[in-house]
Structure 1
Amino acid sequence: MNIGITGTGSYIPSVITPNQAFDQNVFLNADGTPFSYPNAVIIEKFQAITGIGERRYAKNEYNTSDLGFFAAQKAIDDAGIDKETLDYIIFAHNFGNVPHGKAQADTVPSLATRVKHLLQIKNPRCVAYDMLFGCPGWIEGVIQAHAYIKSGMARKCMVIGGETLSRVIDQNDRDSMIYSDGAGACILEATSDGGNILAHESATYSQDEAYYLFYGESYDKKATDTRQYIKMYGRKIYEFAVSHVPKALYDCLESSGIGIEEVKKIFIHQANEKMDEAIIKRFYKLYNMDVPEGIMPMNIHEMGNSSVATVPTLFDMVRKGEMKPHSVQKGDVVIFASVGAGMNINAIVYKI
């Protein structure tokens, strides 16, 4: 029995926010002091490092659960399944629903339950729950769904990754330019001749690394509200990722029994262009190889970093021929990989 992805869907928000939209922001250091150089220089350096030229934000009337619903419906249609046959809906996110203009996240009921409600699934045995695992949440959800199906507890699962990070960014923090919104989903089921998960790898590093990403106050020390925002120690995350992710990829591929030369694409979390390039370079160095041309599709340049949504939206776009010249075909071996808050790392070797 194979356990494969039989349908995918994504929702890319329509609000395009270019880097120039940050021209008038008052960027501050963590201690509240201003930078000594103008925004034009800050933005130029930011794009050179991250590769981000623009990002997508959700319309004010949509919440993360709405984005997840849009992606979920597309995945169900793509797989051609009866939604009532789903055994699990797993929704990976980090901040729940944060309504536009509000300071508080809403996670009751769970986002997975909200999606089930919006899909109007009547079957009470379709269990809906949320996954909190940082940016690697969607991949971890796929790993859990795979375990359910492999054990006989389920036959069909849907895994969603969605976020509206534009609602939790500090306008005084230059890192606010990184984050974006979006959602991706997949249907995973037992098949006789379809795709198959060949190996997976997960790890959590929670000593010094636990709080590299965290919730913190605005850098504006004069701010009167107590709102919390997504914060990170960017340099520490970069060093952590390039030190640990290549080995996780290597271990996962070795467990699969697949040779490195058989890997057609690596779908890695769209966090930072330079960081992702360094990870892949170090991964191939473990095999004494140069990075093959076209091995790593990237949409961060136009989409930004939508956390748990980056890998499923990227895979959906390539799978459906929306990122030429990139493509995947039945029988291709690909790797999914991510790193993020926790600090968590995971990877999947998947044969399409």
Structure 2
Amino acid sequence: MKIGITGIGSYIPTIVTKNDAFLEHQFMETDGSSFGQENTVIIEKFKAITGIAERRYAEPELKTSDLGYLAAEKAIANAGIDREELDYIIFAHNFGDLTPGKIQGDTLPSLATRVKHLLKIKNPKCVAYDIIFGCPGWIEGVIQATAFIKSGMAQKCLVIGGETLSRIIDPHDRDSMIFSDGAGAAVLEANPASGEILSHASMTFANEEAYYLYFDKSNSSGCCKDTRYIKMQGRKIYEFACINVPKAMATCLDKSGVGIDEVKKIFIHQANEKMDEAIIKRFYKIYGKEVPENVMPMSIHELGNSSVATVPTLLDKVLNGELPEHELKKGDVVIFASVGAGMNVNAIVYRY
């Protein structure tokens, strides 16, 4: 049984926020002390490491579920299916719906339920639920959808990854410059004409790694002491990812029976350009190979890190010809891979 992606869609917010928007921010260390550098230097170093020159923020009237709905509409249209035939809607996110100016995330009802409502799906057998799995959430949702279809529990599933991280960042934390907003969605179904998921691998490291990404107060004592923001131990995440993501990718590839030379593209979570380059280099080193030219599409330079949305939005861009230096043809083998809060790592080997 071939289980593959038959429809893809994304929503990229329209508000472009360039790096110079952070020039007037007062960045602080976690203890509230000041950096010993000017913001121009901090931003230059940030761009050199992450590759991010600008990012997208959601329009104030749109919440995460709205972004997911807009991406879902495109994916359903792209698949050419009747939405009433969907058996599952799986929405991967981390913070629920966030409203500008409010300090609480909203997950009641679930974001998947909200999307089903916005899609006007009447079929009660279409089950909607959320998944919180850090940045690898969308890939994990695809893995779950595949299992549902393979078991006979479903025929068509919609998997969404969406986030509005711009509403959960500490303006006094330089890591705030990494995060962005967006949503991507895919329809999966058993279809002989579709692509095919060949293998997958998932791992959770929850000992000393569990709190590499966490929730905490602002770096500034002048901010509301009860408000919490997304925080991360960047150096530890970098080292963790460079060790564990290549191993997960290799495990997945070996399970697939596909050779390393058959891999045409690697769609990796857009977290940090230097980190992604290091991961890919280490992955190919496992097989005694150099990294092939043009194997890794990137969108982080313009879109930033939108967590669960990065992989599906990147895939959508490539399939729609928005990254002309990259293309996919029927039969091409690609790898999806991600790492994030948990700490979770996963990968999929997929043949188009």
TM-score strictly above 0.5? yes
- The superposition leaves residues 147-166 of structure 1 with CA deviations (integer Å, 9 ceiling, x where unpaired) of 00000000000000000000
**Counterparts of 1:91 and 1:224, CA distance in 2:** 31
Residue 211 of structure 2 aligns with which residue?
211
Residue 147 of structure 1 aligns with which residue?
147
Residue 113 of structure 1 aligns with which residue?
113
**Counterparts of 1:103 and 1:225, CA distance in 2:** 11
Residue 247 of structure 2 aligns with which residue?
247
Aligned-partner SS, 1:160 = strand
Q: Which moved more, 1:249-258 or 1:224-233?
A: 224-233
**C-alpha contact (below 8 Å) 2:4/2:197 kept by paired residues:** yes
1:176 positional shift: 0.2
Residue 311 of structure 1 aligns with which residue?
311
1:225 positional shift: 4.0
1:193 positional shift: 2.7
2:184 alignment partner AA: G
- The superposition leaves residues 289-347 of structure 1 with CA deviations (integer Å, 9 ceiling, x where unpaired) of 11000000000000000000000000011011111111111111000000000000000
Residue 280 of structure 2 aligns with which residue?
280
**C-alpha contact (below 8 Å) 2:160/2:184 kept by paired residues:** yes
**Counterparts of 1:275 and 1:225, CA distance in 2:** 33
**Counterparts of 1:322 and 1:126, CA distance in 2:** 32
**C-alpha contact (below 8 Å) 2:32/2:220 kept by paired residues:** yes
1:271 positional shift: 0.3
Residue 341 of structure 1 aligns with which residue?
341
1:346 alignment partner AA: N
Q: After the TM superposition, which parts of structure 1 deviate over 3 Å for at least 4 consecutive aligned residues?
A: none
1:152 alignment partner AA: G
1:4 alignment partner AA: G
Residue 95 of structure 1 aligns with which residue?
95
2:3 alignment partner AA: I
- The superposition leaves residues 110-134 of structure 1 with CA deviations (integer Å, 9 ceiling, x where unpaired) of 0000000000000000000000000
**C-alpha contact (below 8 Å) 2:11/2:67 kept by paired residues:** yes
Residue 350 of structure 1 aligns with which residue?
350
Aligned-partner SS, 1:295 = coil
Residue 84 of structure 1 aligns with which residue?
84
**Counterparts of 2:75 and 2:38, CA distance in 1:** 44
Matches within 5 A, 1:228-243: 228-243=228-243
1:101 positional shift: 1.3
**C-alpha contact (below 8 Å) 2:156/2:187 kept by paired residues:** yes
Residue 9 of structure 1 aligns with which residue?
9
Aligned-partner SS, 1:140 = helix
**C-alpha contact (below 8 Å) 2:217/2:225 kept by paired residues:** no
2:231 alignment partner AA: K
Aligned length: 352
**Counterparts of 1:289 and 1:191, CA distance in 2:** 34
1:100 positional shift: 1.2
**Counterparts of 1:8 and 1:66, CA distance in 2:** 17
Aligned-partner SS, 1:289 = coil
**C-alpha contact (below 8 Å) 2:94/2:133 kept by paired residues:** yes
**C-alpha contact (below 8 Å) 2:263/2:335 kept by paired residues:** yes
Residue 183 of structure 2 aligns with which residue?
183
Aligned-partner SS, 2:67 = helix
Aligned-partner SS, 1:348 = strand
Quick check: 1:134 aligned with 2:134?
Answer: yes
TM-score, normalising length from structure 2? Answer: 0.99
- The superposition leaves residues 48-82 of structure 1 with CA deviations (integer Å, 9 ceiling, x where unpaired) of 00000000000000000000000000000000000
2:135 alignment partner AA: C
Structure 2 unaligned blocks of 5 or more: none
Residue 291 of structure 2 aligns with which residue?
291
1:163 alignment partner AA: E
1:222 positional shift: 2.6
**Counterparts of 2:330 and 2:314, CA distance in 1:** 17
**C-alpha contact (below 8 Å) 2:218/2:225 kept by paired residues:** no
**C-alpha contact (below 8 Å) 2:170/2:218 kept by paired residues:** yes
Identity of aligned residues (%): 68
1:67 alignment partner AA: L
2:121 alignment partner AA: I
Residue 302 of structure 2 aligns with which residue?
302
